[in-house]
Chain A
Amino acid sequence: MTQRGLPKRQRLIGLWLLLSGISLLGGAIFAAWLDAQFAPTGVTRIALWLGSFSGGATIFLVGLLLERMLFTPLRHLQVQLARLVANPDARDEHPPEGWLKGLGPDLCRVRDSWRTDRSLLATAHAEGARSAARIRQELETLLQVLETPLLLCDHHRRLMLFNQAAEDFFDGNNGLGLGKRLEALLPVASLQQVLDQLPDDGSPRELLAPCDDRWLKIILRRVPGSDRETLLTFSDATASWSSEMGVRAELADMLTPLRQHTASLTSAADALIQLRNQNDASTSSLRQRFERVIQEECTTLGDNVAKIGQLLDDLQHQGERLTPMWSNDFWQALDERLDPAHRLITPVGMPAWFKGDAPALIALFDSLVKHLSAHLPDSGFEGELCLGNKRVYLDLIWRGKAIPEHELAEWRQQPLTSLPLNPSVADVLRQHASDIWSLADDDSVHARLRLPLPAIERVGAPRETAPPRPEFHDFGIADLPPPDEALASRALRSLEVVAFDTETTGLELRRGDTVISLGACRVVNARLLASEVFDQKVDPQRPIPPASTAIHGLTDADVAGAPPLDIVLTRFRDYVGDAVLLAHNAAFDLLAISHKGVAFDIPVIDTLLLSRALDEALDGHDLDSLAQRYDLAFPPGTRHTALGDARVTAELWLALLPRLEARGVDTLEQLLALQANAFDRQDASAV
C-alpha cells in the first residue's frame, strides 16, 4: 500500500455512525432479551435498558466529542498550515480550537517568527541587492536605449538577455524569448561553428548569416571571465550588401566597354596621324571614316563616363553611412547643438524622410548657420524639407536676401573641425553627391539656403517606441542544467513550464465542442514571466452557445476573423518549445487541444491532481478554492479568460512548489509519480 493521509472525513463519520447504530441496535436486542429472560420491574428494568444502550450512546457521544474537539480543529489546522506554508501573511481564519486550543499561542509564535525572519531576510536581501539593483538599473536603461540589437546567451546557447532593439529586429520570430535556444532563433549551422570556436579573451568574430530573407551581420564575442557566455550583436546587411555589390558589379562591367571604346579611339587617332603623312586625294575618304570613328567613340566614351558618374553617385547614396532620417528629428538635433538654451530653428512644412550622414550634416549646418548668423539679424531660422523629384531639399529659411554664390564658394572651403579628419563643407557635400545654393523666395521677403539630398521611400512618421518589456534578462538561466539533460531528473525549480488554459464552446469536447480561446504564460527558473504570453482567440467554426458566453463572455463577434484551431495550435506548439505543459484539470484542456494534428508529446503537470495529492483530506480543489486557499488573486475581469486562468494556474504551481519540495518531491519524475498516484486514487474512487 502506498502512503495514505488521514482517512476522508465522510468515511470516518460513516464509520462512527455505523458503530453507534450497531451498538444501539445490539443494546436494544440485548435489553429485550434480558427483559424477556428476567422480567425485571421498576428501577431494575430502567437500569437494564439504560445499561444496554450505554455502549452505543458512549460510542456516539465520544465520536461527537472527538469530531468537535479534535478532528474538526485538526482539519482547520491543516488548512491553516497549508496557507502558512504558501504565505505567512495568509489570513488567520481558523485559530486552533477544541483540544488544540493550546496550540494557538505556539502557532502564533511560529507565524510571527516566520514573518519576522522573512522580514529580516527581506531587509538583508534588499540591503545586499541595493547596489546590484542600481547597476542593474543602469544596465537595463543602457540596454533599452541601445539601438544595436544584442543578445546574451549562456554556454548552452540559451538566451539570458535581449534588448528592445533585438525585439524590434526579430519582430515576429518566435525563437526570441528568455531561456529559448539560440538555434530556435537562428537555425544556421555556421553560427554553431563560430560559437564553438570563439576565443575566450573576448575578441570578436564576424559572421554573415541568412535569416528570414535577410542577411544578418553578426558580431560574436565571449564575455571575458564568464562561464562561456556569448554576446551577439546584429545588423541587417541585406541592403548595404546587395546595393554595394550591385553597384560594384555594374562599375566592374563598365570597365570592359570603356577599354573597348578607348582602344578604338586611340587606334583611329593613330591611323589618322599616319594618314596625315600621306596627304593625297586617295586617302581623303579613309580619313573621313577615321574622323567619324573618332567622333562616334568620343560620344560613346562620354556616355560611359556619365554612366560611371551616376554609378558613383548611387554608391554614395547607398553607402552605409547615409542612413534614413526623419526631418523633424534632424532639425531638433541641429537646434540642440546650435544653442541648447534657445530655439533657433523652427521646423515648418511637412516632415519627411531623407537619407544622409547625420553627424556630418549637423556639423555642416552648424557651420552654415554660424556663417549665416554673422550676416543676418538675430531673427532665427525656419527649417523646411521640400520634396523634389527623387530628391528632397533641406532648406534653411530666413528673412533677408539670398547669399551670393561667391560667398558660398568660400564657405564650402571651411573645415568642419568637429568631425574626424576635419573635412571641409565641400567634402561633406561631395559625400552626399550634393551642393548648396541660395535662392530668394517669391515673396521677396525670405531667402533660403538649399541642400539637396536623396529621398527614401517611407511613409508616415517614425513609430512610437514600444514600452520596454518588463522582462528581457534572467541571468539565472545560466545556472539551469543542460537542456539535453534527461527531463525526468530535472529539479522542479529548473523546469521551464508553460501554463495554459482553454475556453471552449462547451464541455462536450467529444461531441463537437471546441476551443475559442487559448492562453498561456511561461515560468522560467521558478519565475512567472509577465509578458512572455500566448493569448489567441480561435474561430470555432460553429456558433458559441449563449450558456457558454455567460461564462467566458466571448461571443461570435469576438472570435470572428480569428485563425482556426489548427493554425493556432501550430503557433502554440512553437510557443511551448522545450517547456513542460501545466494546466489545472489538464485532462480537459489536453483533450481540447488534441483535435488537430499537432503533437504535444511532452510531460504535463496538473495542479488539480497535485493539490489532491498534497491535501487528500481537504475538499475544494477547483481553481477558485485553491486561489482562495493560497491567496492568489485574479485581476478584475480575468477569471474565465484563458490567459487569466493560465496565469493563476502558474501562480498556483509556484505556491505548490515549496510544499512539494517539503515532501521530498524534487524532480519531475517524482512529481509525475505523485500525480499518477493521485490520478489512480481519483479513478478508483470514481469507480
Chain B
Amino acid sequence: MARVLVVDDEPNIVLSIEFLMEQAGFEVVTADDGEQALAMVNDSQPDLLLLDISLPGISGFDVLERLRGEEATAHLPIIMLTAHGRDVEREKGLALGADDYITKPFSTQALVEKVQALLSEEQP
C-alpha cells in the first residue's frame, strides 16, 4: 500500500484529505509544519507528498527545495496543494521541482487520480 504524506497546517482539510486518500486505498501520514514534514520524510519513507506552501516555520517552497537537494528524495513525487494561486507561484513551485501544482479549491477526485497517476509512473 502506497504511503502519502499530507503536509498542511489547516486541520479541517487534513482531516478530509486523510479520509479521502484512505478511501482511495492509500496509507496516510500527516504533518502540520515544514520541520515535521522533513522529519516524517525520513521516518515514514512516504511514496508521495501533498505539500502546502503556507506553513508555520519553514515554508512549503523551502521544504520542496531541501528535499530536491538531497539525493534520497530528489525524485520523491511531490504535489504542491496550496491556496496560493498566482501564475508566478505555480511557476516557482514547478521550477523548484514539484511534480504538480494544484490550487485550492480542487476536485478531490482529480487529486486522487493525479496521486495514482504519479505513483504508477514511479513504479517500474
Contacts and interface: CB of A to CB of B under 8 A. Distances in A.
A290 B20 CA distance: 12
A257 interface: yes
A136 to B, nearest CB: 56
Interface in B9-47: 10, 12-13, 15-17, 19-20, 23
A263 B20 contact: no
Contacts of A267: 13, 16-17, 20, 108
B15 A266 contact: no
A260 B108 contact: no
Interface stretch (B57-65, B66-74, B98-106, B115-123): B98-106
B12 A297 contact: yes
Contact of A270 (B10, B16, B103, B104): B16
Given A267-B108, A274-B23, A259 B83 contact: yes
Nearest to A286: B19
A293 B12 contact: yes
A489 B104 CA distance: 75
A257 B13 CA distance: 13
Interface in A351-410: none
Interface string A422-450: 00000000000000000000000000000
A290 B105 contact: no
A265 B15 contact: no
B56 interface: no
Interface string A290-302: 1001001100000
A25 B62 CA distance: 120
B16 A262 contact: no
Contacts of B108: 266-267, 270-271
Interface centre among B54, B84, B104 (most CB of A within 10 A): B104
Interface in B72-110: 83-85, 103-109
A353 B43 CA distance: 67
Interface SS of chain A: helix, strand, loop or mixed? helix
Given A259-B85, A259-B105, A264 B19 contact: no
Residue with the greatest number of chain A CB neighbours at <10 A, chosen from B16, B19, B103, B109? B16
B23 A264 contact: no
Contacts of A260: 10, 13, 83, 104
Contacts of A109: none
A256 interface: yes
B105 A266 contact: yes
B-side interface size class: 20 to 34
B105 to A, nearest CB: 4
B16 A264 contact: yes
A554 interface: no
A296 B11 CA distance: 12
A266 B106 CA distance: 8
A268 interface: yes
Contacts of A542: none
B104 A259 contact: yes
A268 B105 contact: no
A263 B85 contact: no
A271 B85 contact: no
Contacts of A259: 83-85, 103-105
A286 B22 CA distance: 13
Interface in A223-272: 255-260, 262-268, 270-271
Nearest to B89: A256
A115 interface: no
Contacts of B12: 264, 268, 293, 296-297
Contacts of B15: 268, 271, 289-290, 293
Contacts of B106: 263, 266
Interface string A15-58: 00000000000000000000000000000000000000000000
A274 B20 contact: yes
Nearest to A255: B85
B37 to A, nearest CB: 18
A1 B15 CA distance: 109
A256 B19 contact: no
Contacts of B20: 267, 270-271, 274
Given A268-B16, A293-B16, A262 B105 contact: yes
Contact of B10 (A258, A264, A286): A264
Contacts of B54: 256
Interface string A160-182: 00000000000000000000000
A667 B83 CA distance: 75
A260 B8 CA distance: 11
Contacts of A268: 12-13, 15-16
Contact of B83 (A263, A265, A266, A274): A263
Nearest to A263: B104
Contacts of B109: 270
19 contacts: A256-B54, A258-B83, A260-B10, A260-B13, A260-B83, A260-B104, A263-B83, A263-B106, A264-B10, A264-B12, A265-B105, A267-B108, A271-B15, A271-B19, A271-B20, A274-B19, A289-B15, A293-B16, A297-B12
Nearest 9 CB-CB pairings of A with B? A263-B104, A267-B16, A259-B83, A262-B105, A260-B83, A263-B105, A270-B108, A264-B13, A264-B12
Given A260-B13, A266-B106, A274-B19, 13 more contacts: A256-B83, A257-B83, A259-B84, A259-B104, A262-B104, A262-B105, A263-B13, A263-B83, A267-B17, A268-B12, A270-B16, A271-B15, A290-B19
Interface of A: 255-260, 262-268, 270-271, 274-275, 286, 289-290, 293, 296-297
